[in-house]
Structure 1
């Protein structure tokens, strides 16, 4: 449910917003920072797929040794349609297609299903990274009020928007900072110790990529 990572002793850590099949845009952002796949690590807030034509290739990133994603609601929409208890049902398939899953019709449903089956075990609901002596959490949509509760997956972690809709600046306890995606913001936004970084790559062409140390320098000691 959660995977914890020690500090990167030989390189840098980056966090990227919702990619949504925009592979070329991701490569552009990584090249701009001189990302080194042998030394650096890239953490993703999920939603690798849907809406973008390169969704299959983006999903395959979860298998790369330098890439660490949490699962998003779009991965779970695909799961429900292709692998879950309702797989094959019109309800599950339509819900996915309406939300951007049509790429799988071109890539091939069998290929999408096979890749999803490999990728999802590499995509826990939450991750925690040690950065500059602090603890940085990652979930897709909304963290619990107490980070210790993240070990129990909830729909809020995949779909929640209550905090941002209310402008709730109450810090999440038990963690120094949390990074999330899911809700599109014009520019990265802090609410308490929660940082929103989904800048709408599939509609705006803006994919946020931030170095973890830079982000944590904003967090009080």
Structure 2
């Protein structure tokens, strides 16, 4: 009914997100917001950001930090618990751990590995870290493929401009960039909000126009 936006990794920056939405007069009754994942960790408002997963106007894919937290709290993998704390999970100490465990498990059911959004005559895909070479492979249940979508960085490390097949545009986060950058038809939008205070929020219409233009 309204406009579609995409936002980079939140990492607990709930206040920054609300300010960004206010600047574009985001209407929660009409507009939709898509997020590239990593809602939590490194920021004090991680619980508020995790709770966004239950909002009807908010749609996100899962990031590596959601997976770290899930393995630490829900699956109770001891080594992963300390790894999570080392990577920004210390906000757990301000929460009821049992309640957070339940919320996290429920939230992850709302966070797929990938999503696709129609924008006019174009198709926009979203994953957290790295898309497969062919977009149809996002439906694969292969663990290595899923891990790549959540953790991968090989494309940006190689500066690989090869387009992802079967999709017009893919938007990702995970790797911090100074400003949004294109590699082929893949757009990286994590501008490190928890470090820089800059949270990238883009209308999907503009993403398509820039790619086509």
TM-score between the two structures when normalised by the length of structure 1: 0.92
Aligned to 1:48: 39
Contact 1:170 1:192 in 2 (8 A): yes
Q: 2:195 aligned with 1:203, yes or no?
A: yes
How many angstroms apart in 2 are the aligned matches of 1:219 and 1:184? 20
Structure 2 equivalent of residue 125 of structure 1: 113
Q: Which of 99, 104, 125 is the equivalent residue of 2:92?
A: 104
Measure the CA separation in 2 of the matches of 1:16 and 1:120: 18
> Alpha-carbon deviations, 1:17-41, whole Å to 9, x = none?
0000000000000000000000000
2:21 is matched with 30
CA distance in 2, matches of 1:105, 1:113: 13
Aligned residue for 1:93? 81
Counterpart position of 1:174: 166
Distance 1:73 1:45 in 2: 11
What SS does the corresponding residue of 1:149 show, helix, strand or coil?
helix
Q: Of the candidates 10, 16, 20, which is equivalent to residue 11 of structure 2? A: 20
1:56 and 1:115 in contact (8 A); partners too: no
| Separation in 2, partners of 1:23, 1:219 | 29
Which string of whole-angstrom CA distances, capped at 9 and with x for unpartnered residues, describes residues 124-167 of structure 1?
00000000110000000000000011111521100000000110
TM-score, scaled relative to structure 2: 0.96
- Give ranges in structure 1 of 5+ residues lacking alignment: 1-9
Question: Superposition RMSD on alpha carbons, in Å?
Answer: 1.0
CA–CA distance in structure 2, aligned partners of residues 52 and 150 of structure 1? 29
Deviation at 1:110, TM superposition (A): 1.7
In structure 2, list runs of 5 or more residues that go unmatched.
Answer: none
Equivalenced residue count is 209
Secondary structure at 2:56's aligned position in 1? coil
Partner-residue secondary structure (3-state), 2:72: helix
| Mapped partners of 1:191, 1:62: distance in 2 | 28
